[in-house]
Structure 1
């Protein structure tokens, strides 16, 4: 594992984020940190090299997943839990709307991405599909589950979306949608013409500095051989 990210200043109380440049779960947290203006030290965990299975990392998260956030004596894994923690401790730039109905829609949209789409396209699952079914089945497997989730999100958000997922302000749902939409278009070649609302949101996210700075290719551990 390696440190990086340009935000380190030697402060032992500074936030530390263990992440992988291409991880959409890590990217959600990077966006949240950026939006809230929080400095953090990025500690790269190379998933391809299996660094998430090292004894050092497993002490932080026994599941062996990124991201992990360290805030003083508090250690949290899972992007959903981390973002909710950041929202409670660091109230600047709220990530949840005051309106309870819109807040519930944010939870639901984030959950669709984090539980019904992303886990079915992660490295471990795709490797399993390759080994058990065949190398040519990975993309079709991912496309099937991404499109199912996107169809649900189109219906869920149609009565709530404004410039962003649930209105004209960036909220939690947007943090989960942006990395997933980017992966769908760049990694899995999903035909987005069938999802006009999500396509519009994807364009809007690409204009926000906090989202741009969290992009995989801008991370210090990004592979020079890949741009997506």
Structure 2
């Protein structure tokens, strides 16, 4: 059976969401991020990214890791693209052109959006007092995101979805990256097509199932 190593409160969420969309059975091993623990090397520490047993699978000490038979695969986007390609349409590519476009949009989101979106996720605290340095970092990240999010918004206004005029793994990959910045309203309100698409993505039963599983995990 397919095995996913990693808690749902991580980039494993992308793989889990896709598995729920496809209807793939999987086993989840809840490996927690070491930085969330006071002493990840303590004998009674839960399985985490610094645990020697896990690092045999992931020398980079990073989740998620996907194990499918003899294949051990890290990097969440590689995992989702692999599963979508293996199981084909509707969530995977119908041909090589669609495969290339799914790769393109996934990698664009990862390189042009994710880092600044994570800054917003970690530092933006609406309704709370924040250090000026955090506010400045969030504002700068939001300013850098305007151009790539406009690219996504324009594409969605024309096409409705990232690839092929239907919901695919590319929508999952891009939506899960943009979600990090979703709570910063003054940025997101500039992109109505993107907001509508994101709401549609997150209303899908497979996302809702993944999200409930995520909420059920300890913070």
| Pair in the same fold by TM > 0.5 | yes
Aligned equivalent of 2:63: 66
Q: For residues 137 and 66 of structure 1, do their structure 2 counterparts lie closer, same or farther at Cα, with a shift above 3 Å needed?
A: farther
TM-score, length-scaled by structure 1: 0.72
Matched, 1:180 2:177: yes
- Structure 1 pair 166–137 and aligned structure 2 pair: CA distance change class (3 A): farther
- Closer/same/farther in 2, CA of residues 54 and 135 from structure 1, 3 Å limit: farther
Number of the residue aligned with 2:43: none
Task: Give unpaired runs (5+ residues) of structure 1.
Answer: 1-13, 128-133
Using the alignment, how far apart are the partners of 2:213 and 2:52 within structure 1?
28
Structure 2 match to 1:131: none
* SS of equivalent to 1:166: coil
| Contact 2:146-2:187 within 8 A present in 1 as well | no
**CA offsets per residue over residues 170-196 of structure 1, 9 Å max, x none?**
12321112222332124x566311122
Q: Does 1:192 find its partner at 2:188?
A: yes
Could you tell me how far 1:97 is from its partner in structure 2? Answer: 4.7
Quote how far apart the aligned CAs of 1:116 are.
3.2
1:75 counterpart residue number? 72
User: Aligned pair in 2 of structure 1 residues 189, 62: CA closer, same or farther (>3 Å)?
Assistant: farther
Matched, 1:36 2:22: yes
Question: How far did 1:75 drift?
Answer: 0.9
Q: Unaligned stretches of 5+ in structure 2? A: 41-47, 124-129
1:26: which partner in 2?
12
Give how far 1:139 is off: 6.1
Cα drift, residue 120 of structure 1: 5.3
- Give the secondary structure class of the aligned counterpart of 1:175: helix
Secondary structure in 1 aligned to 2:92? coil
Please, what TM-score do these two structures have when normalized by structure 2?
0.74
Matches within 5 A, 1:122-141: 137-138=133-134, 140-141=136-137
User: How many pairs align?
Assistant: 199
Partner of 1:15: 2
1:205: how far off? 0.8
Partner of 2:162: 165
Distance 2:62 2:138 in 1: 19
Structure 2 equivalent of residue 11 of structure 1: none
2:198 aligned partner: 202
Contact 2:8 2:214 in 1 (8 A): yes
Residue in 1 aligned with 2:93?
Answer: 96
Q: Output the aligned Cα RMSD.
A: 3.1
User: Secondary structure of 1:181's match?
Assistant: helix
3-state SS, counterpart of residue 17 of structure 1: strand
1:154 aligns with 2:150: yes
CA contact (8 A) 2:12 2:76 kept: yes
